[in-house]
Amino acid sequence: MLRADALLSRFGYCSRREAAAWLRAGRVRIDQSPITSPSAKVDPARVLVDGQPIPFVNGIFVALHKPLGYTCSHISEDGSPTVYELLPAQWEARSPAVQSIGRLDKETAGLLLLSDDGTLVHALTSPKRHIEKVYEYRTAAPVPPEATALFASGSFTLNGEKSPCLPATLEPDVSDPCHGRLRLHEGRYHQVRRMLAAVGAPVMDLTRVAIGSLQLDSLSLNPGEWIPINPQLFTDAP
């Protein structure tokens, strides 16, 4: 149960100060009864605001097909659009805020998960979870055949880092040495670009195509589109 004024601000309708006017105007109801007192305790799942149930009343967990050129920051430093602009505007005003679960570079496209559940975000980004992420790459030069064993070894260390990368699986296309997939179980800064650059194959195009068992292809999302996901897909996975 939540105070009616706290509910309106928690779900991004208006500020707590503005809530009194919304309530006086009869915009908040349970069944047919208007809730007029800011301190009334209400069950969010039963509340109607302007006649509509609260969207995503039990929390937000979505998969977005991130387009190229979008930043995962809430505030863009260089004027480029943010992934949050692709989500309903009201979500920006919700508290807690929606955040991305890990990040993709501005120039990386593909599968991005977002949630307003801080505990879930923390659990899924924890280095202990080792959730597999699969990236499809196109490089400017062929990836040398010895890169497969090097990345799988667990002893490959990125420039400027002390600890080696966890074993990663490189799956180059048989017919095209500039194209393939890299499977990682961690998420270091610009990791795919840095790994492939280290073996002389700078990345031209990069797309995240899967996180755990969730495949971007299976979601049929165009770039910029999103879809709700059941968090149990990740919380129930080992």
- With binding defined as CB under 6 A, does residue 105 bind ligand URA? yes
Residue 196's φ and ψ, nearest 5 degrees, are -70, -35
- With binding defined as CB under 6 A, does residue 101 bind ligand URA? no
* Minimum gap (Å) between residue 28 Cβ and ligand URA: 42
Candidate list 5, 31, 105, 176, residue with the active-site label: 105
- If the CB atoms of residues 8 and 168 are measured against ligand URA, the closer one turns out to be 168
Binds ligand URA by CB under 6 A, chosen from 7, 113, 134, 192: 192
Number of residues located near ligand URA, criterion CB under 6 A: 9
- If the CB atoms of residues 27 and 193 are measured against ligand URA, the closer one turns out to be 193
Q: For the chain, count helices (H), then strands (E).
A: 8, 15
Look at residue 177 and give its three-state secondary structure: coil
Q: What residue ranges in 151-191 does DSSP mark as E strands?
A: 169-172, 179-184
Residue 58's φ and ψ, nearest 5 degrees, are -95, 15
- If the CB atoms of residues 47 and 206 are measured against ligand URA, the closer one turns out to be 206
Look at residue 21 and give its three-state secondary structure: helix
Burial environment of residue 136 by CB neighbours within 10 A (0 to 12, 13 to 18, 19 or more): buried
Both structure tokens of 223: 């770039």
Helices (H), the chain: 4-10, 16-24, 89-92, 118-125, 147-152, 191-198, 216-219, 232-235
Q: Which of residues 13-32 bind ligand URA (CB under 6 A)?
A: none
Binds ligand URA by CB under 6 A, chosen from 57, 186, 191, 214: 191
* Minimum gap (Å) between residue 4 Cβ and ligand URA: 42
- With binding defined as CB under 6 A, does residue 170 bind ligand URA? no
**217 a catalytic residue:** no
Binding site for ligand URA (CB under 6 A): 104-105, 108, 135, 190-193, 206
